Structure 1
Amino acid sequence: MTTISVTTPQPPAPALHPRRWVALVALMLPVLLVSVDNTVLSFALPQISADLRPTGTQLLWIVDVYPLVLAGLLVPMGSLADRIGRRRLLLVGSVGFAVVSAVAAFAPTAGTLVATRAALGFFGAMLMPSTLSLLRNVFVDREERRLAIAIWATGWAAGSALGPIVGGLLLQHFWWGSVFLLAVPVLVVFLVLAPTVLPESKDPEPGPLDLVSVALALVTMTPLVWSIKEIAADGVTPAALAAAAVGLASGTAFVRRQLRRPVPMLDVRLFRVPAFSGGVVVNLLSVFSLVGFLFFVAQDLQLVHGLSPVQAGLALLPGTVAMVVAGLAVVRIVRRLPAERVVATALLVSSLGYLLVALFGGSGLLAPLVVAFVVLSLGIGAAETVSNDLIVSSVPAAKAGAASAISETAYELGAVLGTAVLGSILTASYAASVVVPADVPPSDAAAAAETLGGAAEVASGLPAATAQALTESAQQAFAGGVGLTAAIGVVLMVVAAGVALLTLRDPRR
């Protein structure tokens, strides 16, 4: 008997995009810009404090409102991109971001700066969801896509670290508004390059636009973050508890609505996949720790160690390089070792960075801070690269867009909470510990008691003996707050490592 072998024809492999690596370069421009904007203000805070004289709460909102609005709108904007086209929304967001950046550069008051930062968050939300979705369309080969995602993730993480460095270089020669004007030339280059190398893509059956879900997403996040800020600054108050209750109720309603709808705006069932939900938690806690670290180290380097903005930025350059190297090198490592062990080890390395700050942050030495940032960056750069690859690969291809939006929301929520929680705790600890000399005028005493930058500004106009007493007290109070927040950072990184070990099993294994 003759056996006839029948070979089932395989579908042809998708054609490779001829300019895919140029397209990756184009996509990295808005990613870097949005990421840099999360932290670029870190080194400008002393100048903003001196020029606009914000309160401690206003200073936090100047930093917080951008990632807060961005995080709240990422999923809705991702849904909108599915309908009108991802490249189209990316281009619209780029134009709006460039225009508002120019307005923010010349903000006359702290309130105006908060408002323009909120508008930047609105347009920034148009940029992020489309980048990873377009990247998946451009890179159809799995190995090339893994490398592209590693570059994307490393670029995002490195952008957060580059923010203070870029800010420091600009502030050495220009006023604080120059950190916003940075966006204009970057986006002009993108707007010229993107239409020629990026293909348009959209969901052929996206479902109806759900405005109720958009509102519920915003009403969930804003009260919750505000509540965290208030509890950290003033303790548990009725207003903070009420805001938290509103946020939790809205979040519950949002989840129920997504489960009922045939085409949800956010498919919450994705969180049933352990590798997906674990990767999201790792991303959130990693960015939380990174942005929280940058919030206090930027002030410490300038106001305690007396470095100029450019010197302070260069002090963080080794950490930025370490983050980029770790993010790319881990692609080869994770081919040989289980992903959950690689990520857990990386996060434990990051915890050592915070431990160095907790032990030596108040010593007055510069080296421990520089080394701590290198160690922290090594761990975060490696962990985020692997977790992003797992997030995308752990869900069906049809759900990749939703997975990307959730991953990016975790990034932004981590940035919000990093400043809101650690920044508020640091501010509260400082205010509780600083001792303002009795001969300081009441109006100046209030500013000195709220922030280290305010104390430095007030001290510059006081008699030598009074200025020295205020400066020493302010720096000691700030160091105490840094030690406390660093200890919290250690705990969070250890918790994230535990989450990684339990959940991050690569589905391809």
Structure 2
Amino acid sequence: MTLALPTISATLHATNAQMLWMVDIYGFMVAGFLITMGTIGDRIGRRRLLLIGAAAFGIVSILAALVKSAGALILLRALLGVAGATLAPSTLSLIRNMFHNKNERTTAIGIWMASFSAGAVIGPLLGGILITHFHWSSVFLISVPAMLLLLALGPWLLPEYRDPAPGRVDLCSVLLSLGAVLAVVYGMKEGAGQGLSWSPVLSLVVGVALAGVFLHRQTRLAYPMVDLQLFSRPGFSAAMLSYAFGFFVLFGLSILLTQYLQLVLDLSPFKAACWLAPWGGAFMIGSATAPRVARYWHPNRITTCGLLLSALGFALLTQVGGSSDKEVIITGTVMLALGLAPLFTFSVELIIAQVPSERAGAAAALSETGSELSGALGIALLGSLASLIYRMEFSPESLSGVPEDALAYANGSLSAAVAVADKLLEPAKIELLTASRHAFTASIQFISATSMLIVLAAALISYRTS
């Protein structure tokens, strides 16, 4: 979708605000509906919900490929997010019920995690090829064959599981959870881009307030959407925190790396995706092999060693900006991916193993919601910190040949600096680009060092609990 934005914008005459909503609305709706879909899956059946979601995703994808206006595409992207929210809770809860042996279940979850990594690698590369050779609508149509395959094979290969005594779905809880998650995620994303302005702060306050009302309501329901007693189990709480922590550092750095590749090294989106492909491949390998290693070594020790390896990867990324950028980025991201993969795999296994099988959908949805929120928090906090470092390092007073209005605009972000530099003549253009890229490189080095320290602290905690 991101790679197709320039073509979509030109075809549908979309404004900048509409393009942002085209990208963000999908993630907003996925995050907002995860808890609801997990609970519904426990009640109507995980396989049934998965097939309903697949059918809806395929139909809406076809409609998205046929739209003639930007507003319609935003609406359909929102519906795709609702349909997409059925996939992770349904598949993960099915794994919980299909594999009762711990080793088999961990292996299945490793494959499940590896499949997500494969999608992250294949998606941008395939998208780049489609956009180059076909109409922009092909980025939506490519998902239809996969949904058709799932609808054809799912009823034959997947067993059905549901809670035998689920109780009714509390509509008020559904609305509260949706409002809370949407408001919090929106506030974090806006805060990362705007800073502490009134809009993101108000959104966060509203989201936290709704979350408080939602949690209080769960304590009064006979059949709550979220069983808060689960958090009294040390294994469940620790796994949730570990899972959330991993996505915090991962999302916070990945958004900066993407900008570095495109705005500092001046790579196209497709070439940037190629550079990051080994990162996704390393996640696939780490997720698939961690369960095998766990047969001979305790998962906590594997996680500790993995976190130490990730810390080395972050340490290596503090060296970006030199003559060996390609080698540094590929090696560093591969090391941190190999190190974080066991953390994700074992955390998910602990989360769904701690709950009764009839509540697996709700637990899976809770873990995925936690990853969405922590990822948004990582982007907001680490992104804001990176922006602060960028402004400290930019030093506009040293750029005497650049107009003051251009300097004021470029001081906001690297993307702003690149945009305004395109309107300048040389040597002012080169001078501004050099200074802004140097400042952004310093910010990504600082964030890498900060992430390294966080991961080392997590490794120490993991070591003491092993």
Superposition TM-score tier, normalisation by shorter sequence: 0.7 to 0.9
Match of 1:215 among 167, 175, 182: 175
Match of 2:302 among 311, 320, 342: 342
- State the distance in 1 between where 2:302 and 2:238 align: 14
Q: Is the Cα–Cα contact under 8 Å of residues 229 and 420 in structure 1 kept in the other structure?
A: yes
What is the number of residues matched between the two proteins? 462
Partner residue, 2:442:
480
Partner residue, 2:456:
494
Task: Identify unmatched segments of 5+ residues in structure 2.
Answer: none
Q: Is the Cα–Cα contact under 8 Å of residues 164 and 298 in structure 1 kept in the other structure?
A: no
Deviation at 1:302, TM superposition (A): 3.0
Deviation at 1:449, TM superposition (A): 6.5
Partner residue, 2:285:
325
- State the distance in 1 between where 2:266 and 2:176 align: 45
Q: Is the Cα–Cα contact under 8 Å of residues 35 and 365 in structure 2 kept in the other structure?
A: yes
Q: Does 1:295 align with 2:255?
A: yes
Partner residue, 2:42:
82
Note closer, same or farther for the CA distance 1:340–1:457 as it changes in structure 2 (3 Å cut). Answer: same
Q: Is the Cα–Cα contact under 8 Å of residues 136 and 145 in structure 1 kept in the other structure?
A: yes
Partner residue, 1:4:
none
Partner residue, 2:146:
186
One-letter amino acid of the counterpart of residue 217, structure 2: R
Q: Is the Cα–Cα contact under 8 Å of residues 323 and 382 in structure 1 kept in the other structure?
A: no
- State the distance in 2 between where 1:440 and 1:53 align: 31
Q: Report SS of the residue matched to 1:366.
A: helix
- State the distance in 2 between where 1:185 and 1:261 align: 41
Q: Does 1:247 align with 2:236?
A: no
One-letter amino acid of the counterpart of residue 338, structure 1: H
Partner residue, 2:318:
358
* TM-score, length basis structure 2: 0.84
One-letter amino acid of the counterpart of residue 475, structure 1: R
- State the distance in 2 between where 1:385 and 1:235 align: 34
* TM-score, length basis structure 1: 0.77
Match of 1:471 among 424, 433, 438: 433
Report which stretch shifted further, 112-121 or 145-154.
112-121
Note closer, same or farther for the CA distance 1:288–1:116 as it changes in structure 2 (3 Å cut). Answer: farther
Deviations 1:197-237 (A, max 9, x none): 22333222111111111122123223333333444444444
Matched residues, percent identical? 39
Deviations 1:379-404 (A, max 9, x none): 12222112122222233434433322
Note closer, same or farther for the CA distance 1:178–1:447 as it changes in structure 2 (3 Å cut). Answer: farther
Partner residue, 1:27:
none
Match of 1:69 among 9, 25, 29: 29
Q: Is the Cα–Cα contact under 8 Å of residues 456 and 471 in structure 1 kept in the other structure?
A: yes
Deviations 1:152-177 (A, max 9, x none): 12223443454444444445545766
Q: Is the Cα–Cα contact under 8 Å of residues 352 and 372 in structure 1 kept in the other structure?
A: yes
Partner residue, 1:224:
184
Partner residue, 1:6:
none
Partner residue, 1:381:
341
- State the distance in 2 between where 1:176 and 1:497 align: 44
Partner residue, 1:276:
236
Note closer, same or farther for the CA distance 1:173–1:409 as it changes in structure 2 (3 Å cut). Answer: same
- State the distance in 2 between where 1:47 and 1:364 align: 33
One-letter amino acid of the counterpart of residue 438, structure 2: Q
Deviations 1:277-303 (A, max 9, x none): 111222222223333333222232233
One-letter amino acid of the counterpart of residue 335, structure 1: R
Report which stretch shifted further, 69-78 or 291-300.
291-300
- State the distance in 1 between where 2:98 and 2:252 align: 34
Structure 1 segment 153-168 matched on structure 2, within 5 A? 153-168=113-128
Q: Does 1:316 align with 2:266?
A: no
Deviation at 1:267, TM superposition (A): 0.9
- State the distance in 2 between where 1:403 and 1:283 align: 13
Note closer, same or farther for the CA distance 1:327–1:114 as it changes in structure 2 (3 Å cut). Answer: same
Task: Identify unmatched segments of 5+ residues in structure 1.
Answer: 1-39
- State the distance in 2 between where 1:207 and 1:359 align: 55
Note closer, same or farther for the CA distance 1:235–1:139 as it changes in structure 2 (3 Å cut). Answer: closer
One-letter amino acid of the counterpart of residue 94, structure 1: A
One-letter amino acid of the counterpart of residue 143, structure 2: A
Structure 1 segment 408-487 matched on structure 2, within 5 A? 408-423=368-383, 425-426=385-386, 433=394, 452-453=414-415, 455-456=417-418, 459-460=421-422, 462-487=424-449
Match of 1:126 among 64, 86, 91: 86
Note closer, same or farther for the CA distance 1:140–1:334 as it changes in structure 2 (3 Å cut). Answer: closer
Deviation at 1:74, TM superposition (A): 0.8
Q: Report SS of the residue matched to 1:260.
A: coil
Report which stretch shifted further, 238-247 or 128-137.
238-247
- State the distance in 1 between where 2:410 and 2:127 align: 24
Question: Root-mean-square deviation (CA), in Å?
Answer: 3.7
One-letter amino acid of the counterpart of residue 96, structure 1: A
Report which stretch shifted further, 356-365 or 385-394.
356-365
